Structure 1
Amino acid sequence: MSTKKRRGPAERAAHARWASRHRRLKAYGQWDPFMPAEPVRAHLRLLADLGMPRSGVEQALGLQPNALRHATAGTSGFGRGEKITKEVGQAVLAFWPKLEDFPDSASVDSTGTRRRVEALATVGWSRAVLAQRAGRSVQGFRNKLHLPRVSAALARDVARLYDELWDQRPEDHGVAPWRAERCRRQAQAAGFHGPLAWDDELIDNPSAVAQTDAQVSLLTQGENLATRFLLGESVILDAAARHEVLLHLMEWADLPVQQVAERLEMTEAAVSRAWEREKAKARNDGRTVPWRRAYVPQQPRDVVGAAA
């Protein structure tokens, strides 16, 4: 009896679409499923320098283990391939890892981790307290922050603490007031920047500076990005356009922060920080402080929780 797996309806439909496209492109003389592998290898080398191994890329993209080995190192005694399928190659070239994509043991640039710790210090959260909340030794935590690279596990721990504590007073969480105040004074003397000075899209970028409105070089699709995005057009927002859309939605739309964050593919904490940063800047500039003009209904409580 045959043990060959039968395709389901969705797989058969997908295969039929692929076969139809294949036949059409071949008939037009346009069938070319491969692309040069060298740009893909160069991108993988760049990702490796960031701390993302080839196996991590394969896992993040949902590829089979060693799917990229033929293009990077060769297989079965043969040299590395000079071609790679366009589908896989384009997926690799479009991939840029987020912090959560890195394996725990991966070594990543420490800039963002250090900036987050310094920003929390301006609020009053000392490195000793942060180390304890992260379940790490105080001395080891302090030492690692001076290194040019840290483990992805440590970077994630610090990012989690940053999201939890950026707007929390240490005194409200059991930290002695004199300790928190001393930490704030030391941070001020050291010239650290607080959470509102950092854009969440840029805090991990070593070339970014605090409290800057300078645009970063990102892929865009034409002009008037914010307006076109708000009108429903599918465009890629650069940093300035994303900020403009965020401010418009927070001031004029009847959307809770969660939905604003979802539309912009940001975290709720990042949206809240950007909104608070803009209000603080308006106060400092002597302008009218923006506020949420539209009525935003409260999120319904969980039925079980309400009943309890």
Structure 2
Amino acid sequence: MTNPRQQELNRKAKQRRYLHSIGRPPLIDAEPVIRHARWLHDEHGMSLRTIGRRAGVSPSFVSRLVNGERCDRPIRRLKAEAIMAVRPEMPVRAAASAHVDITGSQRRAQALMALGFTGPVLSEELGFNGHVANLWRVIREQGVISAVRRDRIRDGYEKLQHADPSDFGASVHAQARIRTVARSRDWAPPSCWDDDTIDDPDAIPEWTGACGSERGYQIHYREHIPFCEPCREAHQKYKTTHPGSGTGRLHDEAVWKLADEGLANARIADELAIGVRTVERALERRQQR
């Protein structure tokens, strides 16, 4: 039986393979990030601590960027995107007495739980003063929320969305439990949301880069990503127009692609986390076309 630590390592390795396959490798060139950090620091007077806080990274890391100590090495994509998202001015906050739609606040809290942040950690970091019950009330309720609370949740989300739950005291087992809860409720992680969609009640999380299509459903199935409702609906429509296209054929294109690259059947099965016989049937269907 694989221990939780090994499961986490396997998950991260699979994620890296997937990011490479869609053209989003985890390591990218640091130069654009360095220019942006210097622009914030030199031209807009932002301190290294402020840049780091808004990006969810350490001030020492920002210092190494600004001082050119990272010029010859790539940077992790998540950190790069977090720093590139920092702007000189924060949005104007609503009046303290105002109430706003709760959707974005719920999605942010749920997204952090999908990363493995536990209730006790979030109740502190999102401004609930350690009251876990109040955090869960916001996650479950519908309607509106105070602008003050919305802003506290947003600030905590900006701090945590690129952080590691372990750094905030969440145990591996506790992280696994809350991820299971999030997965069972289809809560999307931060990577599925953009800043311009997370607060939109009509927006859907972008799990696959092709959600709402049969291709998106295939990616959900192949990568063991929780199915979103638009992809479920797209697959039902696809089955109506393509009788006999059950889930057994969802891997065909992926199998064919890896076979063209010269991989053996056993290696293809390992890469796609499917059985060797499934690979063989996919190759047989290709020959029958």
Normalised to the residue count of structure 1, the TM-score between the two structures is 0.36
Which structure has more helix as a fraction of its residues?
A: 2
Q: Which has the higher contact order (CA 8 A, sep 6+)?
A: 2
TM-score with structure 2 setting the length: 0.38
